[in-house]
Amino acid sequence: MPSTKMDARELAQYYGLPQLPWKYRPKDARELDPTNPCQLVEIALPVPLDQTFSYRYARPTETEPAVVGDLVVVPFGRRRKVTGVVVGVQGLAADAREVDGVKLKDVGQVYGPEYRIGAERMKVARWLADYYLLPLGEVVPLFHPPAPGTKARGGRTADELYPEVDKPLFELSAAQKTAVAAGSTHLKSQQFSAMLLHGVTGSGKTEVYLTLIEEALALGRTAIFLLPEIALTPQTLSRISARFGERVAAIHSGLSAGQRCLVHEGAARGEIDVVVGPRSALFAPLKNLGIIVVDEEHENSYKQDEKPRYHARHTALVRGRENKALVVLGSATPDLESMNNARNERFELLELPERMGGTLPLVEVVDMRGAKTVEGFTPALTEAMHETLAAGQQIILYYNRRGFARVVQCTSCGEVVMCPNCDIGLTYHLRPRRLLCHYCGHTENLPETCPDCGSEETKPSGGGTEKVELHLQAHFPEARLLRLDRDTTTRRGSHKKILAAFARGEADILIGTQMVAKGHHFPNVSLVGVLAADDGLGLPDFRAAERSFQLLTQVAGRSGRTGNGRVVFQAWQPEHPVIQAAAAHDYQTFIDDELPARKALGYPPHRRLMRLGVTGKKQGEASEAADRLAEVVRESFIRPGLTVLGPAPAVFPRLHDRFRFQILIKGTLNKEEKVWLRGVLASLRGSYRGVDVVHDVDPVSVY
């Protein structure tokens, strides 16, 4: 049994849970004098226990009682101090030291009102805790900066924004005007509403967002602009910054703790009207929020894949509802769930079917079967590249594998060199020369002999971006190359440098992984080559087709932004409907095929999904815990509308030296079922020390 003497870290260890950020230090908090008149407060703390904690709160002065939402620092366990939030307040006799025989500890410090989680954000916090089955204390850290109260040393956060690029000013197209008019009506109504802006790549969605934000500000309201990955979208940032100047601030991982506090405090005091950033920007303490934009709303990065697991798009809709605000979701390839909501009239659908100042590129699907390929390049793609280079234009090549060779295989016995921690083949990298596991980061030298049969003949097989780069150096010696993948972007700011260099025309060819598919505007790119268009289709995941369609459409959309563009999809299954639909820029056909397929299998958006993942170092222990969990869940969830699948080994049955099992629950749990499941998960976590149990509500993948 865990003892009440254990501090939060010990409890986390006891339950085998990932560590939470414990770095909170009171920087700018007021000390409380325990001899003052006091109150009894309930506090939610970021500890892995599904409960709140009672403390004694001595008022700083007679006129300053504790308020629900106050951010406080309290002693926890023997030595630790933890930041939490007041979720309930009662009166208490001035000299009371205990309640029901339990000695009360005193709240140590309280932060200023900028850090108070106001009623509206508190409702969002409670919704997150309830919907995602999380202790309230675990969602609270989303609502304040990691080190509240830290002073920033000089510098404005706007310095982190990018200088304006030359920005062509178009008059709004008819379709843009329609979208703006619809949004504007919603803004003026002061009622919650959601809009799905489906605009093809290059159709000017950003201009619609910015115009609507301007209208919201004119109405005296504030705005949040969410971007999937800030490092990959410098151009959008610079446009927002140019438009709103000092009233906008960005939140991103490059900010220091002090700068984050500066943004937070500025937003709380009303000095900042627009906050832009990745999913964490959604929780900024803006008052009178009028509009939330979720750009590239289909992106997976809106789902936080570690504790607390939540989806920022869904949460944006909840925050919008609490503020009677307009939520605008935008994408060239909307998530199936969003489009389904639009079709069911929960969202208003607005379309931007045409590109501004250009047409969509022509896509050629090239059959790899029987083609005389050289290192993965078909003659058709090679020829298109020569033509493009001869015309002085730029090329983007997309290949979603980094490194030099996907696997290293023995030519005698066929054995593949595996990661010792994961059931995954190691990838061969040239610079530096080593074998690397892309899941756990394990690295080792290339073996001289086969670990299985001792043969000296091992062969790297399957390609990667490094190999493509070498091929281009040999076959296009005159072309200047840049590579964008996780290996070339380990240094801070390197994304931005590579993208900026390519935008300035300092390279002819940009080769990269899916990072090259994100929303850049490169006016001189007239050819996009996809080396293996069917690469993602074989993934054993119910979203494989949707992800593939999105990626192909997005990467193709980089071509011909200001003129005639072309795209080559190389494919082993050129007739595959997903590849055909992406080549034809035909979103409607794609979802008309995909929605019924999802329905037939009972997958989202038709039914909700919850994944229960059980992992452990010992296979037997993890398997036993998974069996027990599945058994109790299956016994209790016997009703129409709920299906329990599993347990089954996960698609990757061993990663990071842990065996992985999973159980899927299809359907929507009611209130009692959620409470029951929370209890079951807590007790399972308590009874198996070496086993970690995670639950993921609305998982974006089921690997």
Which residues sit at the interface with Zn ion, rule CB under 5 A? 410, 412-413, 415, 419, 421-422, 437, 439-440, 442, 450, 452-453, 455
Indicate the residue among 14 and 439 with the shorter CB distance to Zn ion. Answer: 439
Indicate the residue among 443 and 683 with the shorter CB distance to Zn ion. Answer: 443
Closest approach, Cβ 343 to Zn ion, in A, equals 42
- Asked whether 395 and 558 are in contact (CB, 8 A), the reply is no
Indicate the residue among 451 and 686 with the shorter CB distance to Zn ion. Answer: 451
Indicate the residue among 254 and 420 with the shorter CB distance to Zn ion. Answer: 420
Indicate the residue among 47 and 417 with the shorter CB distance to Zn ion. Answer: 417
Please name which of 190, 192, 235, 187 lies closest in space to residue 211, comparing C-alpha atoms.
Answer: 187
What would you report as the CA-atom Rg of the chain, rounded to the nearest whole angstrom? 27
**Helices assigned H by DSSP within 296-370:** 312-322, 336-343
Closest approach, Cβ 418 to Zn ion, in A, equals 9
The CB density around residue 246, as the number of other CB atoms within 10 Å, is 12
Indicate the residue among 156 and 656 with the shorter CB distance to Zn ion. Answer: 656
Indicate the residue among 21 and 420 with the shorter CB distance to Zn ion. Answer: 420
Half-sphere exposure of 151 (CA within 13 A, CB side): 5
Closest approach, Cβ 325 to Zn ion, in A, equals 44
Closest approach, Cβ 646 to Zn ion, in A, equals 24
Residue 421 has phi, psi (to 5 degrees) of -100, -20
Closest approach, Cβ 97 to Zn ion, in A, equals 53
Closest approach, Cβ 446 to Zn ion, in A, equals 14
- Asked whether 580 and 667 are in contact (CB, 8 A), the reply is no
Indicate the residue among 96 and 453 with the shorter CB distance to Zn ion. Answer: 453
- The bridge status of strand 691-697 relative to strand 658-666 is unpaired
- Helix orientation angle between 205-218 and 234-244, rounded to the nearest 10 degrees: 30
Closest approach, Cβ 598 to Zn ion, in A, equals 32
Closest approach, Cβ 489 to Zn ion, in A, equals 21
Closest approach, Cβ 458 to Zn ion, in A, equals 8
Is residue 482 within a helix (H) or strand (E), and if so which, with residue range?
strand 481-484
Closest approach, Cβ 440 to Zn ion, in A, equals 3
Closest approach, Cβ 456 to Zn ion, in A, equals 9
Joined tokens for residue 455: 């043969």
Closest approach, Cβ 423 to Zn ion, in A, equals 9
3-state SS string for 237-302: HHHHHHHHHHHEEECCCCCCHHHHHHHHHHHHCCCCCEEEECHHHHHCCCCCEEEEEEECCCCHHH
Give the C-alpha separation, 218 to 240, whole Å: 16
Give the C-alpha separation, 290 to 64, whole Å: 31
Q: Is 698 left (phi over 0), alpha (psi -120 to 50) or beta?
A: left
Indicate the residue among 405 and 567 with the shorter CB distance to Zn ion. Answer: 405
- Asked whether 97 and 104 are in contact (CB, 8 A), the reply is yes
Indicate the residue among 440 and 500 with the shorter CB distance to Zn ion. Answer: 440
Indicate the residue among 218 and 413 with the shorter CB distance to Zn ion. Answer: 413
- At 446, the amino acid letter reads L
Instruction: Please provide the DSSP assignment of 33-96 as one string.
Output: -TTS-EEEEEEE-SSSSSS-EEEEEE-SSTT----TT-EEEEEETTTEEEEEEEEEEEE--TT-
Closest approach, Cβ 435 to Zn ion, in A, equals 10
Closest approach, Cβ 405 to Zn ion, in A, equals 16
Indicate the residue among 256 and 421 with the shorter CB distance to Zn ion. Answer: 421
Closest approach, Cβ 13 to Zn ion, in A, equals 23
Residues with Cβ within 8 Å of 552's Cβ and at least 6 positions away in sequence, in order, are 530, 533, 569, 578, 579, 582, 583
Indicate the residue among 425 and 667 with the shorter CB distance to Zn ion. Answer: 425
Give the C-alpha separation, 700 to 698, whole Å: 6
Indicate the residue among 287 and 656 with the shorter CB distance to Zn ion. Answer: 656
Closest approach, Cβ 699 to Zn ion, in A, equals 21
Give the C-alpha separation, 303 to 307, whole Å: 11
Q: Which long-range contacts (CB under 8 A, 24 or more apart) does 17-22 make?
A: 17/48, 17/307, 17/685, 17/692, 18/306, 18/307, 18/692, 20/46, 20/47, 20/48, 20/138, 20/141, 20/307, 21/46, 21/141, 21/146, 22/80, 22/82
How many residues are recorded in the chain?
A: 703
Give the C-alpha separation, 160 to 277, whole Å: 12
Indicate the residue among 12 and 450 with the shorter CB distance to Zn ion. Answer: 450
Q: What's the order of all strands across the beta sheet hosting 80-91?
A: 30-31, 109-110, 71-76, 80-91, 38-44, 53-58
Indicate the residue among 115 and 404 with the shorter CB distance to Zn ion. Answer: 404
Give the C-alpha separation, 568 to 577, whole Å: 16
Indicate the residue among 133 and 436 with the shorter CB distance to Zn ion. Answer: 436
Cα separation values, 651 from 299, 310, 414, 423, 698, Å: 22, 22, 22, 10, 18
Give the C-alpha separation, 608 to 215, whole Å: 36
Closest approach, Cβ 439 to Zn ion, in A, equals 5
